[in-house]
């Protein structure tokens, strides 16, 4: 019971600390800017549809693809925010000596790490869910389009954030706060590019190139979870009608995620968290 209370306390303190950092203000400004720009863009799409420049099917397809594009922007903002919050939360406190005041007490380091991880998870997933829901409402208001599986899509985006912040937490146990954020975001971008290359390989029927995306999604599940979210955001009717013409398009996902891949993503998070706990336990503070 004492350990559970300790973990909950550290999680609450981590969440409060994250909400006070300047990163939160940056996230809020970027989110507001993206919502305003996307609202203007979707309103122009609605105008084109009213003037019969686009058919209803084309308009829905474009709306779903633009929604995927904008949601990728939100996932990138979340990636930047969580990656650069995870480093200072652990490595920054260790370097400054703040961690000594906590670890000097009879508290297990794994409990401290778990509390900080849970606090960051609450912060990152909360941002994704609120920002993503706001974007869906903007699209509904401007072009009268509502994604077929918004709950599943937002849950997968939140899971993507959890994967990245867990990686950032692991990196923060071995390198400086800034380096851990840079490496985490760099791997996030590299995995997405590898996924695009793999999609092009699938469209061209090149199994070797297609395998690049498959391997990258196994090593770091961020791109795989993102593709599952894209599929949940897409209009199924428009996808069935125009999907073959746009095969290989980076903001088009033809199939939902399998249960096996979701299990692998959960196992990946558990393994990386375990490595972070092992590294943090052995680190001198």
Please provide the DSSP assignment of the chain as one string: -HHHHHHHHHHHHHHHHHHHSHHHHHHHHHHHHHHHHHHHHHHHHHHHHHTTSS-HHHHHHHHHHHHHHHHHHHHHHHHHHHHHHHHIIIIIHHHHTHHHHHHTSS--HHHHHHHHHHHHHHHHHHHHHHHHHHHHHHHHHHH----S-HHHHHHHHHHHHHHHHHHHHHHHTTS-HHHHHHHHHHHHHHHHHHHHHHHHHHHHT-HHHHHHHHHHHHHSTHHHHHHHHHHHHS-HHHHHHHTGGGTT-TT---SPPPHHHHHHHHHHHHHHHHHHHHHHHHS--
Contact, 257 vs 185, CB < 8 A? no
pLDDT at 98: 45
Angle at 254 between CA 53 and CA 130, to 5 degrees: 80
pLDDT at 160: 93
pLDDT at 228: 92
pLDDT at 51: 46
109-143 and 259-282 helices, crossing angle to 10°: 140
Summarize pLDDT for 88-128 with one digit per residue, the tens: 666 545 544 444 444 445 577 778 888 888 888 888 898 88
Cα-Cα-Cα-Cα dihedral sign, residues 229, 232, 235, 239: positive
pLDDT at 16: 79
Per-residue pLDDT of the chain (285 residues; tens, 9 = 90+): 557 777 788 888 777 777 676 667 777 888 888 889 888 888 877 676 554 455 556 667 778 888 888 888 888 888 777 777 776 666 545 544 444 444 445 577 778 888 888 888 888 898 889 999 999 998 888 888 888 899 999 999 999 999 998 998 888 888 777 788 888 888 998 998 888 888 888 777 788 888 888 899 999 999 999 999 988 888 777 666 655 555 666 777 778 899 999 999 999 999 999 999 888 887 655
pLDDT at 201: 82
pLDDT at 142: 85
Question: CB within 8 A of 51, min separation 6: which ones?
Answer: none
Dihedral Cα 183, 118, 122, 28, nearest 10 deg: -40
pLDDT at 97: 44
Q: Is 23 left (phi over 0), alpha (psi -120 to 50) or beta?
A: alpha
pTM score of the predicted model: 0.85
pLDDT at 208: 82
pLDDT at 99: 46
> What residues does each domain of the chain span?
2-282
């Amino acid at each position: 019971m004492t350990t559970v209370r300790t973990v909950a306390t550290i999680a609450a303190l981590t969440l409060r600390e994250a909400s006070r950092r300047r990163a939160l203000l940056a996230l809020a400004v970027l989110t507001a800017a993206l919502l305003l720009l996307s609202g203007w863009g979707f309103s122009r799409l609605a105008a084109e549809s009213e003037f019969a420049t686009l058919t209803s099917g084309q308009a829905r397809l474009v709306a779903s693809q633009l929604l995927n594009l904008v949601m990728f922007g939100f996932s990138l903002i979340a990636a930047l925010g969580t990656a650069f919050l995870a480093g200072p939360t652990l490595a920054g406190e260790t370097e400054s000596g703040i961690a000594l005041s906590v670890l000097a007490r009879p508290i297990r380091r794994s409990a401290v790490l778990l509390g900080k991880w849970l606090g960051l998870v609450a912060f990152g997933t909360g941002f994704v869910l609120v920002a993503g829901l706001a974007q869906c409402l903007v699209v509904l208001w401007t072009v009268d389009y509502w994604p077929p599986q918004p709950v599943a899509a937002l849950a997968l985006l939140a899971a993507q954030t959890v994967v990245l912040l867990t990686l950032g937490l692991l990196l923060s146990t071995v390198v400086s706060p800034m380096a851990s954020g840079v490496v985490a975001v760099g791997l996030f971008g590299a995995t997405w590019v590898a996924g695009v290359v793999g999609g092009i390989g699938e469209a061209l029927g090149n199994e070797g190139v297609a395998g690049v995306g498959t391997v990258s999604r196994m090593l770091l599940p961020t791109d795989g979870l993102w593709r599952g979210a894209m599929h949940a955001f897409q209009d199924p009717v428009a996808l069935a009608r125009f999907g073959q013409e746009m095969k290989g398009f980076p903001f088009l996902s033809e199939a939902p995620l399998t249960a096996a891949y979701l299990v692998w993503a959960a196992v990946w998070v558990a393994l990386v968290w375990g490595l972070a706990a092992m590294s943090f336990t052995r680190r001198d503070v």
